[in-house]
Structure 1
Amino acid sequence: MVDQQEPPEDVFDVRTDEQLKAVGSLARHRVLRVLRDGPATITQIAERLGIAKGSSNHHVKVLAKAGLVHVVETRQVRGVTERYYAIAAKAIRLPSAGDGSTEHLVRHALADMEASPNVDQRLVHLKHARLSVSAFDAFKVKVRALAEELAAASDPAEPAADLLLAFYRPNDPLAAERAAAEDRPGSTDSESGGE
């Protein structure tokens, strides 16, 4: 029996603690990765990830309860009902930073990168800069456009490629000192400029 299969939504917004916990697991993150390639059964997921069928079943059930995956097709095979699960959305949007959700995303992406056998197909680069507010905002637009360009170039028939972007303002004690010096009454450029 084939159920009515609708295309996944564009974005699933994680809103509850249950949903955040579901996506917070590296194993479930990898289950979602498998399902991004198309619907699969518990057994197929287990085989692709090299995990026990019981473990695959547990993780899929947690994701289904949270609304992140759902059954899209059932088939009778030798008296057993096979359920095909699919992702609920093409992308998952985590709550705003500050609640630890970004940490999960970065940790999972790094774990996937470390586990990848394709060391020769990896680019990792960290660059430090000092930018004005307007320059920071301009780069943010460019970085977002790069991610969109990658999404547009995606071809389901080709091997997977992930892009993790983190463009942020780090803790900056020097900037805080400069701002405090500028706020002091009677401060001059020579006082805040250093030696």
Structure 2
Amino acid sequence: MTDQGSEPADRLEISSAEQFKALGHPLRHRLLFALGQEAATISQLATALDTRKGNIAHHLGVLRDAGMVQLAGTRQVRGGTEQYYRRSAKIFDFTGEGRRANTGVALQAVAAELEGATGEPLLNLRNIRLTERQASELMEKLDGLVDSLEDAGPGEARYGVLVTVYRPRQ
């Protein structure tokens, strides 16, 4: 594969209306999940996500226009050129007003991933009374734990990790 640019950034702040609009479809979240740590072609992504190549190409274009996906490289195959795509950042930081609006779509994407998951995923939903201080400390610890995880490399299985602490309506 011919490399087309720099390595993905460590973090990308997701704050613009264009970025949140790009995340307005669950398949786009799933594309970002699938591109996790390694580049892939449209054909590879279509197979992995069980959808048509044209569908993948369209949604990749939306993500690329929003700066969330970039061309990673190309490879010559049987008279054509395969393009490999990757995330433009390893971690996306969600800020601003669009953060809350995007939650439902992100959870739809995670639900779709869980439906096709292998093994038994851990899902623990609990409501508990906490002080503001306890909730803040819990959020900080969980965020630190997830941020401290190191990728084991391309030979290992990919796992999704979703962590949330929220205060339900009374």
Bigger Cα Rg: 1
Matching residue's letter, 1:146: L
Distance 1:32 1:26 in 2: 10
- Per the alignment, do residues 47 and 115 of structure 1 end up closer, same or farther by CA in structure 2, a change over 3 Å counting? closer
Q: Name the residue aligned to 1:129.
A: 128
Stretches of 4+ moved more than 6 A in 1? none
Matching residue's letter, 1:126: L
Matching residue's letter, 1:2: T
Which structure 1 segments of 5+ residues have no match?
173-195
- Residue 90 of structure 1 and its aligned partner are, at CA, apart by 0.4
For the residue of structure 2 that corresponds to 1:92, the secondary structure is: strand
Distance 2:161 2:41 in 1: 27
- Residue 4 of structure 1 and its aligned partner are, at CA, apart by 4.3
Higher strand share: 2
Structural mapping, 1:30-179, within 5 Å: 30-96=30-96, 99-118=100-119, 121-149=120-148, 151-152=149-150, 154-156=151-153, 157-172=155-170
Cα deviation code 1:18-71 (max 9, x no counterpart): 221222212122222222241122122212222211112111111111111111
CA contact 1:94–1:102 (8 Å) conserved in 2: no
Distance 2:108 2:96 in 1: 16
Matching residue's letter, 2:54: G
CA contact 2:23–2:29 (8 Å) conserved in 1: yes
Root-mean-square deviation (CA, aligned residues, Å) is 2.2
- Residue 100 of structure 1 and its aligned partner are, at CA, apart by 0.8
- Per the alignment, do residues 72 and 123 of structure 1 end up closer, same or farther by CA in structure 2, a change over 3 Å counting? closer
- Per the alignment, do residues 99 and 161 of structure 1 end up closer, same or farther by CA in structure 2, a change over 3 Å counting? closer
TM-score, normalised to structure 1, is 0.75
Matching residue's letter, 2:10: D
Are residues 1:12 and 2:12 paired?
yes
Higher relative contact order (CA 8 A, sep 6+): 2
Which structure 2 segments of 5+ residues have no match?
none
Higher helix share: 1
Distance 2:112 2:49 in 1: 14
TM-score, normalised to structure 2, is 0.85
CA contact 1:94–1:101 (8 Å) conserved in 2: no
Distance 2:100 2:34 in 1: 27
Cα deviation code 1:98-154 (max 9, x no counterpart): 641222222322231133242xx21211222222222222222222233234x23x3
CA contact 1:41–1:82 (8 Å) conserved in 2: yes
